[in-house]
Amino acid sequence: MSEADRLAGAEEKMAHTIEFFQRELQGMRAGRAHPALLDKVMVDYYGTATPLPHLGQVAVPEPRLLVVQPFDKGAVPAIEKAIQKADLGLGIRVDGSLIRLSVPALTEDRRRDLVRQLKRRLEDERVSLRNVRRESQDVIKADKTLPEDDSRRLLERLQKLTDRYTHQLEELASAKEHDLLNP
């Protein structure tokens, strides 16, 4: 088994961590409308919890406006209720079969709260990367067929890989923090 093969699993898990963090950041409200704000809203649709994007089309016609057009007009009350329950801080207005959601400007306190949430999420993802590194280190150290020099080289490459992905996380968080603090 080559060095690249031994590290491929760890790199794949770290890449998934980055992708997850990016999706999480899209769902954080930064004072502008983004369809990802509604990704986690679950609607009780005929007794089944269904993600809102599966029930209708979400559009952004203006920077501070989201429009939800349900595929089933009968789902409008359930969607409205789910959005209110999600407590996203959005203004809701129903126009027939359209649901208009206005995104209010963020207050300074709310911006600071969002930055604190961002830093907590960043630390959670750093821990996730470190756990992947630790698991991979354990596998490398447990492989008695691997010469000591190769083992040391693999551990060094694993650390560089971890550092690279940690840096990517920090860059994403820094960009989002800038986005939150500078409207």
Tell me the C-alpha distance between 64 and 29, whole Å.
11
Q: pLDDT-based confidence at 125, cuts 50/70/90?
A: very high
Q: How far apart are CA 109 and CA 16, in angstroms?
A: 32
Taking the model in full, what pTM does it have?
Answer: 0.69
Looking at the fold, whether 91 and 141 belong to one and the same domain comes out as no
Structural domain total, the chain: 2
pLDDT tens-digit series, residues 85-108: 887 778 899 988 899 998 887 788
**pLDDT tens digit string along 43-98?**
998 888 999 899 999 999 988 888 999 998 989 999 999 988 887 778 899 988 89
Range of the domain at 141: 3-27+108-181
Same domain? For 80 and 112 the reply is no
CATH number, domain at 165?
1.10.132.20
- Measured between alpha carbons, how far is 32 from 86 in angstroms, rounded to an integer? 18
